Structure 1
Amino acid sequence: MEISEIIMLVFCGLFLIPSLASATRFDQWWIRAFDFPRIQISILIISVIIIGIIVFDFSELIHFIAIGLLILSLIYQLHKIYPYTSLAKKEVMEFEDEDPSDNISLLVSNVLTTNNKYHKLLEIVNRRQPDILLTLESDKKWEDALKELEKEYKYTVKVPQDNLYGMHLYSKLKLEETEIRYLVRNDIPSIHGFVRLDDNSKIRIHCMHPKPPSPSEADTSTNRDAELLMLGRDVKDQDKSVLVFGDLNDVAWSRTTRLFQQMSGLLDPRIGRGFFNTFHAGHRFLRWPLDHVFHSNDFTLIEIAREKPMGSDHFPMYINLNFERRAEQEQEKPEAEEEEKEWAQDKIDDAEPRQKGV
């Protein structure tokens, strides 16, 4: 066997690792990190397959096995990201009437604590005029810079922190029963409560920003997974109109986020429409969707968009939804299997949450 073929076999083996690792249930940060760049991994696998076909003369069985395993690995990766392409069926219906009767618009922005381009976010807010603005990683400096918004956004919940997990909620619509909770760790807040629409409908809201698995943040994904899955479990039991939004530090196609959806019964408006990659704003070829808006099946979609960069490592995410009860009869809720529910409860128990429910 020629040296070029041996080198190629090594590369084939290396590019099987991302699929093999992400298919496991291990929660070490370096394993769960393979959940994120599935688009990039797919492109690299395709490149290796093409090069392998050129290098191999297919005179030996190992050549066929190597390319065959890579093709299976590619199919696995594409299967995960396919729902977030325009080829897939849309999970959320389009709003079809001319004028929205009861809409609610949200802007979610991880501002990056060290970012001081406050005016760029203010420009987006002034242009979009969302009903609700959620900022993440916002500290006291960001709070002061956004003070002018409070003329229009009379209802606020402020949690300024310097640890990259501060959050601020601004709303034109009335907020009720709001509370700040620390579900898993005493330095990672989340905001919960209700918002009243113009027709007096009451919508439960949950604003989240769990800690990601990474060498600088957390050795495992256990706490992040537990926070999301605990919310998913409790949202299902509440059986109300719900909005969940924030930087979940997890990609839309990961097992945890998909299970969160199944447990909560909430819908993802990106399915069938696109990736809407919000991180990293500074690296064009290293982006994936970390900022999310999930909602109950009594909403239809008016608009969803990734906004222009505003100095942060995240793009802001904008969404406009129309609240309409009739949509419940036409939009099917995701459902979790019993085995998956048991795995989720094990995850929650492993994290030893500070609070037992949301």
Structure 2
Amino acid sequence: MIEKHLSKWRNREIARTVFFFTVIIVMILALASVPRVSAPLLLAYVISLMIRPGVPILMKLGIPRTLAIIALLMGLIGISAWPITKAVPLISDEARNLQFYIPKVESYITNRYVVVKKELKEKAGYDLNDSYLYDFLENSNKYVTNSILALPKWLASLLEWVFLVPLFTFFILKDGIVFRDILLNICPNTLFERFYSLTHEFGKKIGGYIFAKFVEASIIFVIITAGLWFLDIRFSFLLGLVAGITNIIPYVGPVIGAIPGLIYVLAEYGAGGTFAAIAILYTVANAIDIAIVFPILVSRIVDLHPLVVVVSVILGSQSMGVLGMVISIPLAAALKLIILEIYQSIYARRNNSSF
């Protein structure tokens, strides 16, 4: 009789486990297939982690939970509105003006190429293939032109995010606990405690990592923009923004972010003191990031060995390109949590069976 009940219980737990993981996998695949929704949802989740502590504080003052959430969101929107309204027209103007400098940059690169080609032929007897230069110029021109033409689309996406992110943040703060409880209700009893602990740690680490990368990118943006502005370099805001955004990509991001600024300054001012000053600016900004910002903000949160980070970034690049490089570290941190949880579960089971 007891064995029969145990058999039914095991079958029920197996069925619940299969159903539970099916729901989780379907949710992940659904979100991954719609980045237009999942990307602002992820940002909303990070924002909710930032302002969530303020909700109980306002509730203690007698403000209902819903009104407390709305008040915090309105305050955040008010703080963010001024820099966004100033930045959007500035980015648009600088991007339009940038297209007039493209021929100048192309001319400089072509002239330098002719000099290098001549020196190589005279000193080493090697004749460069001109097709590489023309392919590079054509692809670069096409990329910049497409980026400028796509600017209205990016601005439209930004406006869409301005609407979606506060909306998602509101419902995450208001109904996030309900959604978590639904998952816990369908979670098998054998996995309940582990799943609860795992989701808590996962949310803390991933949310903390994304927030840390945002702060890191903002610091680089401020340093580069302020430095370029102080040196009286045109497009300082746009070049600083590029440096900040590309800095999100681990390791290679800072190099990618420095290239547009260095090429522009080289074409505009030549290889003189201004170019050296800009090169030093980018080097100092990245040194501050590597030596201070990244270890304090990012490394402590994900708690991964540098070798694991490097391998994760390479694998992410191979599988999903730039997006893979960006999400590789939080995915590696999540995988580490899962592996540790499984290991601790097996280790605890062995200890129990030995008694």
Could you state the TM-score of these two structures normalised by the residue count of structure 2? 0.24
Task: Considering fraction of residues, name the structure with more helix.
Answer: 2
Larger radius of gyration: 2
Task: Considering fraction of residues, name the structure with more strand.
Answer: 1
Could you state the TM-score of these two structures normalised by the residue count of structure 1? 0.24
